[in-house]
Structure 1
Amino acid sequence: MKDANKEDLRRIFKRKRISLTVEEEESLNSRLFYQFKQFVWEGLNYVHTFLPIRKFKEPDTYRMADWLRETYPEIQLVISKSDLKNNLLDHFLWEKDQMLEVNPWGIEEPVGGKIIVPSQLDAILVPLLTFDRSGNRVGYGKGFYDRFLALCRPDCLIVGISFFEPVEKILDVGETDIPLDICITAERIWYLRN
């Protein structure tokens, strides 16, 4: 796909994901998981992940989290709880037996737990609808992740997770948009910044 603005891309990729059959979604999740396992996660202490909104057919990060726990037991996983009043995210250590509850958007979130501050994070798995070849991403448009990423260390690895390959260029990238370093797709790992 050629150059487009965020609003058009948001509409196109929401529709593209929602229209996936069960078989297509499972195939994409399997291929995405295979690519995820090719990345070297060694040397990271705290990895933040999003939990999928199932009704929007977001990639299955539970599978990835289980694999990280098993393969890299030294990695501590972190998840967020949405502060809907202030449009911010609070972050908590994701213990294996952590109690989760579903928020109004259909996202499972932690019920209490140990607070983790953004400066502690070594890598963040970022949800998105699409991204471009420069690492710019299109999310749902609320800005939660851009505000969150702005609080992280400059050396924190920002990793997009996408079923689909990038578009050529997102036309309306803003000053507060934080680009991805890497994006893992069902087809390959994209290294977007040096």
Structure 2
Amino acid sequence: MKSKKELRQEFKVKRCQLSKAEEESLNRKLLSQFQKIELASVKYMHVFLPIEKYHEPDTYSIINYVKEFFPKITLVVSRSNFVDYSMQHYILNHQTVFEKNEWGIPEPVSGTAVLPSLIDFIVVPLLVFDTDGYRVGYGKGFYDRFFAQCATKVQRVGLSFFDPIEKISDRNEYDVILTKAITPSHIYCFDSDESNSSHGVW
């Protein structure tokens, strides 16, 4: 087993080693898997915008898919505050104005604000996840804080180019598990409630 720090470094390198053709193929397969997810009941979907230099999965294709086939879903994007590691959320539409911050992350600079409690589906960035649904992000805790502000039934759906590892060695009680994780070849389910839990693969 490896720690979050070790895994963070390992999978950053793995993503950067992908060729352009490999990355494009994996993104097409991710979209194909995402299209299997049931979205009929979703009202507000939060989507991260990919950081090109980190070779993150292409969420623009997911955004375009949702806009075309689920126009009633309100898409939401966020701006990160690196002072207190909080996020502010805004509706994504043709009026949303974006700028890249100093880390190269495209962020909304104005728009209609959205409360986290309204969001019922979150597309979650990650570097790697394990077979129990725990994820390794970039280590700042933005999304764990965000999850805590959302309704308990919010869907937390991770996107990964790579299959899960067996276990992250330094998981803790503050880590929030995903409800699903999508890879180019599978959808992993980690649904749970107070009385039972189920893990499965589509």
TM-score, normalised to structure 2, is 0.93
- Asked if structure 2 preserves the Cα contact closer than 8 Å seen for 1:102 and 1:109, the reply is yes
Kept in 1: contact 2:42–2:121 (CA 8 A): yes
Instruction: Give 2:8's aligned residue.
Output: 10
For 1:49, the aligned partner's letter is V
Aligned to 1:75: 73
State the partner residue of 1:49: 47
Where in structure 1 are there 5+ consecutive unaligned residues?
A: none
Residues 1-194 of structure 1: pairs in structure 2 closer than 5 A: 3-194=1-192
Aligned length: 192
RMSD of the TM alignment (CA)? 0.9
Deviates more, 1:131-140 or 1:83-92: 83-92
Instruction: Give the % identical residues.
Output: 45
Structure 2 spans left out of the alignment, 5+ residues: 193-202
Distance in 1, Cα, partners of 2:179 & 2:111: 29
Look up the SS of the partner of 2:67 in the other structure.
helix
Moved more, 88-97 or 144-153: 88-97
Q: Which amino acid aligns with 1:101?
A: E
| Paired residues of 1:87 and 1:142 also in contact (CA < 8 A) | yes
**Partner Cα distance (2:46, 2:88) in 1:** 11
Q: Return the offset for 1:39.
A: 1.0
